[in-house]
Amino acid sequence: MSGILWDELVFGPIRSRRLGNSLGVNLLPGSKKICTFNCVYCECGWGEEIENKDDKLPKLEKIIPALEKRLIELKEQKFDLNSITFAGNGEPSLHPEFVEIINNVLQLRDIHAPQAKVTCLSNSTMIHKVGIREALMKIDNPWMKLDAGSDLMYRRINKVFKNLSLSEIVENLIKMKGNLSIQTLLLRGEMDGEIIDNTSEKEVEVWIEHLKKIKPRSVILYPIDRETPLSKLEKISDEELEKIADKVRKVGINTVVYS
Ligand code: SF4
């Protein structure tokens, strides 16, 4: 699978079940995934570790006018926009101007689409940087990835490029003081003879212990939805997703399933 890449800075709006009418902002290049992870289920396909990424990224002075132009068009069409969403070909917070971009986008939202939420799908690997963490805490929907309970399963699923442990990620998520939602993709499969499974009783138990410490506003669970780079992955049934969601609800955390 080669993967789906967004080739525009601003794309959509697309209809999202989680976000409604969502206008996407892609801070990464149109031709390549740039991410600190290489998740086995990534819809962008397999990636590679990239050095000197900054000169390949679109600049703030291109992104902001492109977004403003689209927001004005949508306002003139009286389009009901629900979310301006940072998503696309990799991890948005890797962009060196991420903090300024967030501040600018919040201003544009207030002027042109005050009803819309600002959402960022992030893999949680850059929030050791205070500025990035605080920028994410300012927006309406920081949706932070946490796909595993154990470090072993995290490394098998997310295939992190840098030497960053799951416990470091959890510690940084705790520092967001509850101003976040956690997004988790549940799956089973196998790669190079190694089992991939974040749905086992033991894994779920440890993952819930992390959630209890992170205290997110909500947890968003979902299964594989599209083609994945690794073919040996199984889509988890709605019934099983709901069972896991119930375990999280039991510890008092609002949990939503998108199957
Ligand atoms: S964090 Fe997102 S963009 Fe990065 S590899 Fe995983 S699924 Fe793909």
pLDDT per residue as tens digits for the range 159-215:
999 889 999 999 999 999 999 999 999 999 999 999 999 999 999 999 999 999 999
Angle (deg, nearest 10), helices 201-214 and 238-250:
40
Please answer whether residues 70 and 12 qualify as being in contact, where contact means their C-beta atoms are separated by less than 8 angstroms: no
Higher-pLDDT residue of 46, 3: 46
Domain ranges of the chain: 10-257
Q: Is 39 near ligand 1, meaning CB less than 6 Å away?
A: yes
pLDDT of residue 187: 97
pLDDT of residue 3: 62
Nearest to 68 by CA among 107, 119, 16: 107
Neighbour-count burial of 141, counting CB atoms closer than 10 A to its CB (0-12 exposed, 13-18 middle, 19+ buried): buried
Q: How confident is the model at residue 2 (pLDDT cuts 50, 70, 90)?
A: low
Helix (H) or strand (E) holding 104: helix 98-112
- Ligand 1 center to 90 CA (angstroms): 6
Give CA 110 to chain center in angstroms. 23
What would the mean pLDDT of 229-246 be, rounded to a whole number?
Answer: 93
- Ligand 1 center to 203 CA (angstroms): 21
Nearest to 203 by CA among 137, 251, 247, 254: 247
Q: Is 123 near ligand 1, meaning CB less than 6 Å away?
A: yes
- Ligand 1 center to 35 CA (angstroms): 6
Report DSSP state, residue 125: S
pLDDT of residue 162: 86
Helix (H) or strand (E) holding 38: none
Q: Is 22 near ligand 1, meaning CB less than 6 Å away?
A: no
- Give me the CATH code for the 10-257 domain, please: 3.20.20.70
Instruction: Please identify which residue in the block is written with the tokens 């794309």.
Output: 11
| Cβ partners under 8 Å of residue 107, min gap 6 | none
Q: How confident is the model at residue 229 (pLDDT cuts 50, 70, 90)?
A: confident
pLDDT tens track for 18-74: 999 999 999 998 878 999 999 999 999 998 887 767 777 899 999 999 999 999 999
Cα–Cα separations (whole angstroms), residue 193 to 104, 121, 153, 199, 257: 47, 30, 14, 18, 30
Cα–Cα separations (whole angstroms), residue 105 to 22, 118, 135, 161: 14, 8, 11, 29
pLDDT tens track for 66-102: 999 999 999 999 999 999 999 989 999 999 999 999 9
Token pair for residue 95? 């962009």
Please answer whether residues 140 and 118 qualify as being in contact, where contact means their C-beta atoms are separated by less than 8 angstroms: yes
The ligand 1 atom nearest the CA atom of 36? 4
Q: Is 197 near ligand 1, meaning CB less than 6 Å away?
A: no
pLDDT over 90 at 138, yes or no: yes
pLDDT over 70 at 124, yes or no: yes
pLDDT of residue 34: 93
The ligand 1 atom nearest the CA atom of 158? 6
Q: Strand 233-235 and strand 187-191: pairing?
A: antiparallel
Q: Is 37 near ligand 1, meaning CB less than 6 Å away?
A: yes
The ligand 1 atom nearest the CA atom of 35? 4
Angle (deg, nearest 10), helices 151-158 and 166-174:
100
Nearest to 142 by CA among 217, 88, 38, 37: 217
User: Which of 122, 123, 157 best tests ligand 1's pocket when mutated (most atoms within 8 Å of CB)?
Assistant: 123
- Ligand 1 center to 121 CA (angstroms): 9
